[in-house]
Amino acid sequence: MSKSATGTASTGNVTPLRIADAARLTRHVFVRDLRLDAHIGVYRHEEGRTQPILINVDLTVTEGDVEIGDNIDNVVCYRSVVTNIKALVDEGHVRLVETLAERIASDCLEDPRVLAARVRVEKLEAIEEAHSVGIEIERLRPLPAS
């Protein structure tokens, strides 16, 4: 069983949530290739040192009833998203890229305008023969309890 784009449980094929959709009054806020040094990894040689990671975030954001009015307070600000990601990375050692991705998605979903968060975290030096390895997740805003 999986969750549909609306967050309800369903079986079978699930259509991914469209990130920007005029019919659903949503827009796409994104961060591309944010390169940071992070204390991350489960192996002994990864402890006590940083390694480069690459983070990509795609947010489905409701346009709501508020006019933008050229006012940054009326939008989900990508600079704030980046600042929050940096703060999460600076909190200290994280063992799994999955854990960091979940923390980033959860943080993004704290803004009630964010309906969905897709987060990709890549380690750039974990496997010598690979450009990068990592994880990508998508998390939806929980449906209100009825």
CB 78 within 8 A of CB 86: no
pLDDT tens across the length of the chain (146 residues): 333 343 433 334 545 567 888 888 899 999 999 999 999 999 999 999 999 999 999 999 998 777 889 989 889 999 999 999 999 999 999 999 999 999 999 999 999 999 999 999 999 999 999 999 999 999 998 767 66
Domain 25-65+72-140, CATH class in plain words: alpha beta
pLDDT at 21: 85
DSSP string, the chain: -EE-TTS-EE-S--PPPPSSBTTTTEEEEEEEEEEEEE-B-SSGGGTTS-EEEEEEEEEEEE--SS--TT-GGGS--HHHHHHHHHHHHHT--BS-HHHHHHHHHHHHHTSTTEEEEEEEEEESSSSTTSS-EEEEEEEEPPPPP-
Residues forming beta bridges with residue 136, ordered by sequence position? 120
